[in-house]
């Protein structure tokens, strides 16, 4: 993904890309929550922060030859669980 390759370049606060991403994440999150696939206590801002953290983790872990681990852990933690 170009976003991962760039380390999130172009996603600075106040940019159009940042606003578009936040909007898209909010819509996707709402759909996933309605479907019962994602925890209901997450906000769009939470997901946005987690995504940015994964970008940093991916860049750092790639040097160790590990890819995708942070994203997998975050995705597992976002899944809805049976109450």
Summarised one tens digit per residue, pLDDT across range 45-64 is: 999 889 889 988 988 898 88
* 80 band by pLDDT with thresholds 50, 70 and 90: very high
Instruction: State residue 15's pLDDT score.
Output: 79
- When pLDDT is cut at 50, 70 and 90, the band that residue 5 belongs to is low
Burial 43-74 (b: 16+ CB within 10 A, else e): ebeebbebbeebbebbeeeeeeeeeeebbeee
Task: Give the start-to-end residue ranges of the domains of the chain.
Answer: 2-78
Angle at which helices 44-62 and 16-34 pack, to 10 degrees?
110
pLDDT of residue 44: 93
Q: Is the model more confident about 3 or about 68? A: 68
Task: Tell me 66's DSSP state.
Answer: -
Alpha carbon distance 18, 30 (integer Å)? 18
Per DSSP, 81 falls in state -
**Mean of the per-residue pLDDT values for the chain?**
85
């Amino acid at each position: 993904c170009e976003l991962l390759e760039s380390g999130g370049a172009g996603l600075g606060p106040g940019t159009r890309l940042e606003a578009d991403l936040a909007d898209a994440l909010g819509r996707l999150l709402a759909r996933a929550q309605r479907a019962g696939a994602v925890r209901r206590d997450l906000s769009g801002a939470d997901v946005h922060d987690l995504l940015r953290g994964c970008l940093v983790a991916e860049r750092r872990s790639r040097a160790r030859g590990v890819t995708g681990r942070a994203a997998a852990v975050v995705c597992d933690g976002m899944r809805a669980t049976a109450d």
